[in-house]
Amino acid sequence: DQSGNGNDLWYQGSIQVPGSPQSRPAIATTEALMVGGSKVYSLYINPGNSYWRDGSNSGVPTGSDPEGMYMVTSGTHVNGGCCFDYGNSETTRKADAAGAMDAINFSTQCWFGGCSGTGPWVQADLEWGLYPGGSQMWNPKQQALSHDYVTAMLKNNGTTMFALKGGSTQANALTTLYDGMLPGGYSPMKKQGAIILGSGGDCCKPDGGANLSAGTFYEGAIVAGYPTDATDDAIQKNIVEAGYGK
């Protein structure tokens, strides 16, 4: 964590975050890439790898507080396992209630059925479902994002609305995939303030099985407040200028 709040993530299965015997850390040297002319390494998550931190007392939004987040991920290293998430999750590591999570999901998982195509898609894991839009119906504005490097964004004001955006890390502008009302039963949100990376909220405890998802994390942030569209644009501009794959 580079925020100064000390929200460093530990893998589920570590001494700091005890987990199931099947849980293990990602291998740090699995994927090398070029970013802005420099060789760097990704956090390359395979089934069995996931990370967690209780940030409820160290700056992560809770309850119905507004929140925004983004991550740079891979559109080629994906699967349909539950659940490649980054965002706000339960401190209990249980599926506690609708609205107990507020996390970006990037995967080929079609939770409610009726999806168009095979993904991968930017969706919102709000607990008890991955939402492509404001209901359990398929959102026709969704787009599959299979680029080598993808920017995924989610912001949620905690009481009435949320938005999803996504696109290539080389795109001058992100596509707004959804901007509207929260699904029924999710207002107000009931966020608990843990940080999850690479799994769903009810995962990886000693008696709770291991993560089934695959995905890649290059960078990301979770912030308090509801970011403006201008802020979203500025983040994407910085990502483009960073030069992923160059």
Structure-token match 């990370």, residue found:
51
Q: 230 by DSSP, 3-state: which?
A: helix
67 is catalytic: no
Separation CA 69–CA 3 (nearest Å): 14
179 is catalytic: no
Separation CA 207–CA 220 (nearest Å): 30
Among residues 185, 58, 181, 78, the alpha carbon closest in space to that of 128 is found at 185
Classify burial at 246, counting beta carbons within 10 Å of its beta carbon; exposed 0-12, middle 13-18, buried 19 or more.
Answer: exposed
Q: Please state the three-class secondary structure of 175-222 as a single string.
A: EEEEEEECCCCCCCCCECCEEEECCCCCCCCCCCCCCCCCEEEEEEEE
Instruction: Identify the active-site residue in 67, 127, 219, 232.
Output: 127
Residue type at position 228: T
For 229, phi then psi, to 5°, come to: -60, -35
Instruction: Identify the active-site residue in 67, 96, 202, 232.
Output: 202
Catalytic residues: 127, 202
